[in-house]
Amino acid sequence: MNPKLRTGSLRRLVAGCVALFVVLSAIGLALVRLEASQRSAAADRLTVAEAAEVRAAIGDRLSQNINLARGLRAFVVANPDLGDPARFDNLLEELYAQGDDIRNIGVAPGNVISHVFPIEGNEGALGLRYEDVPEQFATVELAIETRQSVLAGPIDLVQGGRGLIDRTPVFLADGSYWGIVSLVLDVDSLLTGAAADVERFELEWAVRTVENGATPATPVGGDLSLFDDADTVLTMAVPNGSWELAVRSGAPTGGNGLLIAFQVFAVVLAGLVSRLVFERTRDRWRSRMLSLQDDLTGLANRRLLEMRANQACRLAKREGHPISFVYIDLDAFKPVNDAHGHQAGDAALTAISDRMKSRVRESDTIARVGGDEFVILLPATDADGARTLAAELTATIEQPIPFEGCELRVGASCGVATYPQDGDTFDALLAHADSEMYRFKIGIGDGSDGGADQPPPADDAGADRSLTVVGHGAAER
């Protein structure tokens, strides 16, 4: 996982813990004041708790949309060239469908917009250089400077309505700046959705940006006159700024019995909100700390491979079908690094990973388990099917890899293990495939003593190395 992402997650975790402390402290102070003014304190606590729910609903809906931009950023970091154009367009369409409040998505490598979805009505944005639009470039510069998402607006949109613009900078693994991912969010849709989540409360509420020096507060939603007569005003953090939420309770006052019920409800609700805030923040931190992908190739890592393999073994045992592993170790890979540097090695690994992805099914899992070692999990595939695939992968891996005016060449040694005959656990199957791969490698030589200029085995040797068998074995392959 990118250290910068870990740092950002840690900051958010600390901020969440501080917010939790503030809420618990507010509840404690309210309980102390209860003895002096039971009716007023109970009503105040209830309103604060309900306002916290409103704030959480708005914040969650905003985060759900903005997190799509961060997911798109992760894709760009793994695929700086954006990969296949049609596949990338499909990704934008999928992200757009997931964001209930997204008006459009823009991608700007080098601060020049190259992709917009949906394109209808936004054709004029293509090719736009942010440097040429000072009012937009200001937030882009701020995002680059802080290396964090920046939320601008609300502003009146040319297409109609009001929008928020999230600018998320993209920095590659080497620390270099790639460009900007932008989301335009529909303010009215966002607030309407949040209101639906808290419609059980009888509240009036309004939202505005926080006044910052010479920058006046900007209306976000609701009747801003509510700030002059609010029961409570809460501050909520947004990317690179803050909003204020004013809430006034519309619930009728009642007798002592109803007031006592409100007191109990407020305490329980505040406890639930505090617990949810803590657990959600903790779980997000853990999920980001426990990365399941290889940073360089974007493939699964050993942890994710083991999880999927154990699940596949359980399913295979229940349904009675085989599963197979293909263990691949690259031959003559060290000479590539020695002769051309680690950048060439990384380029070779990335190219080989992409080639393998194009050869497997969506249900298969490719994992990088070592520097130049890969394992492919093949559900519903017998040994013959696995060896056929191993032959195809060996052939595609051995194809020259263009790099800075030269061609890199590596080979591959493969081993196959099949459940249940070669083992009934992940470790046993992996060990068997590794052992078979090693025996195969010893039989042909690992190619590491030939130097960087030594070519891979000739085609006739490649035929021996390919583990070719007649037929695919399992029908599923």
Rounded Cα distance, 344 and 381, in Å: 34
Q: What is the pLDDT of residues 129-177, one digit of tens each?
A: 989 888 888 889 999 999 988 888 888 776 677 888 899 999 999 999 9
Kindly state the average pLDDT of the residues 367-382.
92
Rounded Cα distance, 106 and 181, in Å: 6
pLDDT for 172: 92
Higher pLDDT, 97 or 16: 97
pLDDT at 186 over 70: yes
Q: What is the pLDDT of residues 46-69, one digit of tens each?
A: 778 888 888 888 888 888 888 888
pLDDT for 213: 65
pLDDT for 469: 29
Is the peptide bond between 109 and the residue preceding it cis, with omega within 30 degrees of 0?
no
Calculate ∠ Cα 395-398-404, nearest 5°.
145
Rounded Cα distance, 99 and 91, in Å: 13
Rounded Cα distance, 299 and 305, in Å: 10
pTM for the whole structure = 0.43
Residue 88's nearest CA partner among 78, 100, 103, 102 is 78
Partnered with residue 180 across adjacent β-strands are 108, 169
The confidence band for 470, taking pLDDT boundaries of 50, 70 and 90, is very low
Rounded Cα distance, 40 and 168, in Å: 44
Question: Would you state the structure tokens that stand for residue 220, as one six-digit string?
Answer: 């976000």
pLDDT for 71: 87
pLDDT for 332: 87
Rounded Cα distance, 348 and 408, in Å: 7
Q: What is the pLDDT of residues 280-310, one digit of tens each?
A: 766 765 565 556 788 888 888 898 899 999 9
Say if CB 178 and CB 82 are below 8 A apart: no
pLDDT for 476: 41
Which positions ≥6 away from 217 have C-beta within 8 Å? 208, 209, 210, 211, 244
Rounded Cα distance, 61 and 195, in Å: 11
Q: What is the pLDDT of residues 21-33, one digit of tens each?
A: 556 555 644 554 4
Residue 2's nearest CA partner among 232, 234, 173 is 173
Kindly state the average pLDDT of the residues 435-443.
86
